[in-house]
Amino acid sequence: MSRQGPMKVLVTGGSGLVGTAIQQVVKEEGRDGEEEWIFLSSKDADLTNCEETLAVFHKHRPTHVIHLAAMVGGLFKNMKYNLDFWRKNVFINDNVLQAAHEVGVVKVVSCLSTCIFPDKTSYPIDETMIHDGPPHQSNFGYAYAKRMIDVHNRAYFQQHGRCFTAVIPTNVFGPHDNFSIEDGHVLPGLIHKAYLAQKEGKPLTVWGSGTPRRQFIYSLDLARLFLWVLREYPEVDPIILSVGEEDEVSIREAADAVVESLGFTGEVVYDTSKADGQFKKTASNAKLHRYRPDFQFTPFRQALKETCDWFVANYDSARK
Ligand code: NAP
Ligand code: GDP
């Protein structure tokens, strides 16, 4: 989408995994004089609160918004807190999109996830299938809350002509992730567990069978694509941001890659009493490829090595 005048971009959730990656890419690729960027954390406003949300939007009066703020977590946190995932995310999304509308924001790019797609489906999954059937039961609270952003977007367009859209990334990883063993996603969880196991001379325990399959996207690649979506992508309909179907890996392969990246030398065991979650959610990146045939993803092993190196170098201050 082309536009006149400078953009003032407000990033909700600007302090998280994806938000800090966008901060880094803006430093490298930002357009001085054409774009001003403001990164919010929960300290600036609790976005579950309507008044605080409106106040922060009135304070900054953005022309554009990247909406990342959300209650986020891996499989095991989702299984425990479906109600909180549903309520918090529904409140945050309704408050943010309505505040954006009220201050006249030209474009909002929100963030969905491939884990919101139907559990029983054909593969590869594409953008048209979001509402085609129930999500996996492990994360239905998060999934339905995120699906409703797509409903918001279509309704803001229909009723007010707003260009509110969304991206659909796969499982994200990178520096500044949440490396909590209990609550985080699989790669940061395994990195933290392997780091401790190496230090303590203990085995690394991978949860579940290791057979489920996932597509992983490096936070810095996602951040670059976010900038493109904000500046150029013209549709209200969402777009999947994913590596190719051929780059999907099993959890076992992902664990092996963590072992190699960290130089872990101990035994690796699988705790099959723990849940596997959704077996796979193989997503098509055909739409992305049509728009951006030139885009090069960082090779998985390289991105994982950079993430492990960051975690080791920042162990004391990392979120865990
Ligand atoms: P994250 O690292 O956990 O960051 C979450 C961000 O949201 C933080 O900046 C946090 O602020 C903010 N936040 C949370 N609750 C808030 C509240 N009540 N009010 C204001 N701000 C609040 O998450 P992430 O992985 O970067 O996720 C960013 C987006 O990507 C989310 O929408 C998520 O659903 C989506 N996504 C993530 C993944 C993944 O694998 N991580 C995959 C697909 C989609 P504080 O730092 O102050 O807590
Ligand atoms: P998902 O991709 O949304 O399902 O969420 P996760 O990133 O939490 O990945 C969950 C998958 O990784 C499941 O198949 C788990 O059994 C497996 N897994 C293996 N070890 C771990 C771990 O230490 N933490 C997490 N979160 N998942 C793990």
Q: What tokens does 258 get?
A: 């963590």
Listed in sequence order, the residues at least 6 apart from 135 whose beta carbon sits closer than 8 Å to its beta carbon are: 115, 116, 117, 118, 119, 143, 144, 147
Write out the catalytic residue numbers: 142
- CB atoms closer than 10 angstroms to residue 307: 24
> Residue 33: what pLDDT?
84
Gap from CA of 48 to ligand 2 centroid (Å) = 27
CA of 42, nearest ligand number = 1
Does any ligand 1 atom lie closer than 6 A to the CB of residue 13?
yes
CA angle 64, 43, 311 (to 5 degrees): 90
Does any ligand 2 atom lie closer than 6 A to the CB of residue 253?
no
In order of their start, the domains of the chain are 7-175+216-244+282-298 (3.40.50.720)
- The protein residue whose alpha carbon is closest to atom 22 in ligand 2 is 186
Q: Of 141, 136, 140, whose CA–CA distance to 118 is shortest?
A: 136
Does any ligand 1 atom lie closer than 6 A to the CB of residue 110?
no
> Residue 2: what pLDDT?
44
Q: Of 207, 216, 277, whose CA–CA distance to 244 is shortest?
A: 216
- The protein residue whose alpha carbon is closest to atom 36 in ligand 1 is 113
> Residue 31: what pLDDT?
85
- CB atoms closer than 10 angstroms to residue 288: 24
Q: Please answer whether residues 79 and 99 qualify as being in contact, where contact means their C-beta atoms are separated by less than 8 angstroms.
A: no
Does any ligand 2 atom lie closer than 6 A to the CB of residue 175?
no
Ligand 1, atom nearest to 111 Cα: 32
Ligand 1, atom nearest to 21 Cα: 26
Q: What is the pLDDT along the chain (320 residues), one digit of tens a residue?
A: 445 678 999 999 999 999 999 999 999 987 888 999 999 999 999 999 999 999 999 999 999 999 999 999 999 999 999 999 999 999 999 999 999 999 999 999 999 999 999 999 999 999 999 999 999 999 999 999 999 999 999 999 999 999 999 999 999 999 999 999 999 999 999 999 999 999 999 999 999 999 999 999 999 999 999 999 999 999 999 999 999 999 999 999 999 999 999 999 999 999 999 999 999 999 999 999 999 999 999 999 999 999 999 999 999 999 99
> Residue 84: what pLDDT?
98
CA of 12, nearest ligand number = 1
Radius of gyration for the chain, computed over Cα atoms and rounded to the nearest angstrom: 19
- The protein residue whose alpha carbon is closest to atom 31 in ligand 1 is 68
Whole-structure pTM over 0.95, yes or no? yes
Does any ligand 1 atom lie closer than 6 A to the CB of residue 68?
yes
Does any ligand 1 atom lie closer than 6 A to the CB of residue 66?
no
Ligand 2, atom nearest to 115 Cα: 3
> Residue 130: what pLDDT?
97
